[in-house]
Structures are given as structure tokens and as C-alpha cells.
Amino acid sequence: MSLLGLVTCLVAAADAPPAAAAASEPVTVKVGIYVLNVGKFDLLTGSYTVDFYLDMTTVPAGQDMGDAKFEFINGRATSTDKLIDTPGEKFYRVQANLQTNVDMRLFPWDSHDLPIIIEPANRGKKSLVYVLDEAQSGVDPDVTFVGWNLLGQSARLRDHEYKVYGETYSQYVYTLSIGRLKFMSTLKTFVPVLVFLLISMVSLLVALEKLDSRVGLNTAMLIASVMFHMSISAQMPPAGYLTIADKVMIATYGSIGINLLFTVQLMRMMQQKRDDAAKAFRELCFKLMPGIAGFAYLIVVASSLF
């Protein structure tokens, strides 16, 4: 090789970019979310709306992040306003309709996670990687969620692998944790049930000569329990499991139903002129019914804890 050719090769090698190094270094982008408002949470569909600021900044600062297009994995953005648009930073005001899977097993003391899941629209981990920006993340102090308590928030990163396409994308997940107002939920759910049960127990005081009134009381309370249970169930999505409220209502059905069966047995005794046996059985019912009801609710407690 001539001297001129050797010099030309050396100059070209010096000017050429380190392709292997460049290909192995994806752009790093810090992501932060600041929540401004949370809309109505629909338990039937698991849908909710979130209004928030989204900040994306390159690491190191000032680097060109290129195409920063993103998408929501658990929903769609209804509006996206770009407030800052520089090579090293993108700042948006976003309103999004999102969805989550709801678990109602602990109703009326249930809690839920409302995630905001963001992923690059067209750049895998080989090209772009998200990292947490804790300084730009949080929830506005004025955020209120009617009917729920805001229990906390968290942010995390995870890899989303698309095996079909042989690609892995970086995901940013910001989660709001909410819980039902336990005191009010307990009053609205269990006080009516307690009233139904107490009226059924009061019917034990009815004299043997007025057993038809006792039948009427228990029948009315049983129907009222079913109607109340239906009104609760209408507020929740169909599920293949029992909630705490369902278990309590089933225990209530059993307690009132057994009281009704005992009343019918007393009526049969009176019709058969077995007055002494009827009086003894009536006295026994005063002990049996509280024990049966207590045992039924004890089963509810045990099945809910374990």
C-alpha cells in the first residue's frame, strides 16, 4: 500500500463514529408525573380519568432524545398539550381515560390501584430507556376523590416484552392507591342488615297465639334482605367470587330463614294441640337463634380473614 493510501485510511478511521458503542447506548429519559385531578372511578367498567403533567428529560441534560412519542398501555389520551418542546425536554399536560382490573373481594372495605402506564410508541429498549424522575413526580394537595381516600402513590419501571415481535420496551408505571371511606361504607352496608336481623330476633317475643304475625315479620325481613342485596350487587361488576358483603347477606338469609322455619314448626305444634311442647320449643328458640346467627357471622369473619 502506498504512503498516501495509508494516510487516507488512518484519517477515515479517526473520523468514523464508534458504531458499535453508539448502537449499544440507548437514550436515557427521566419520566415524572404530577397528578392534578382524578375523575370518577366506575367500578362496573374499571374506568377512570386522570389529568396530569408529564415531564420527560434526557440524561445527561441537553441530549437530543429524538422521537419521544409515547402511548398509554391501559387506555387512551383524550388530550395532549405540549408545553415545552426542546431536544432535551418534553413537557405535556395530559388528560387520559384509563382502565384497571378491580378486585371487590373486600367490599365494602375494598381498595384499588389506579395505574398510569406509559410506553414509547415506536422505540424499544435498544433505542430508549425510561428512568424515574422522583423530583418531578407527585400528587397535587388539592386533589380530591369523592367517595374515596387517597392512600398513596408510587412509581416504578418494568420491561414489557413482545415475544411475537422479538422486542422489549421500557415501561413507566405511576400508581395511585385509593381506599373506600370505611366508616361510611360500613354504616351504609351493614346497618340495614343489622336492622333486618334485629327485627327477626324481636319476632321471638311474639306469643304462641300470634304466630302468623311472626311469620309475616320474618318473611318481610327476608324479602327486604334480598332486595337490599340486589341493590348492592347492582353497583359492582359481575364476578366469580363472593365479597364480604355477599357473605354477610348469605349469613343473614340463613339466620332469618331458620327463624322462619322454627316459626312454622311452632305453628304445626299448636295445630296438633301440643301446647306444652310448643312452649318449650319457643323458650329454646330464644337460645338457639342468637347462637345460630352468631355462628353464621363467625364463619363470615373466618372466611374473610383466611
pLDDT digits (tens, 9 = 90+) for 102-144: 999 999 999 999 999 999 999 999 999 999 999 999 999 999 8
What confidence tier does 12 reach under pLDDT thresholds 50, 70, 90? very low
What confidence tier does 9 reach under pLDDT thresholds 50, 70, 90? very low
pLDDT digits (tens, 9 = 90+) for 149-158: 999 999 999 9
**Chain mean pLDDT for the chain:** 90
**Percentage above 90 pLDDT, the chain:** 84
pLDDT of residue 145: 85
Q: Grid cell 413526580 — which residue?
A: 137
Q: Grid cell 327463624 — which residue?
A: 259
pLDDT digits (tens, 9 = 90+) for 222-234: 999 999 999 999 9
- Across the beta sheet with 111-120, the strand order is 70-72, 111-120, 167-180, 148-162
Among candidates 92, 100, 93, which has minimal Cα distance to 73? 100
Ordered by where they begin, the domains of the chain are 27-180 (2.70.170.10), 184-305 (1.20.58.390)
pLDDT digits (tens, 9 = 90+) for 188-197: 999 999 999 9
**Percentage above 70 pLDDT, the chain:** 92
Q: Are strands 27-38 and 128-132 parallel, antiparallel or unpaired?
A: parallel
160 and 56 Cβ atoms separated by less than 8 Å:
no
pLDDT of residue 24: 60
Kindly tell me if the per-residue pLDDT of 290 is higher than 50. Answer: yes
Question: What pTM, to 2 d.p., does this model score?
Answer: 0.83
202 vs 198: CA distance, rounded Å: 6
Kindly tell me if the per-residue pLDDT of 14 is higher than 60. Answer: no
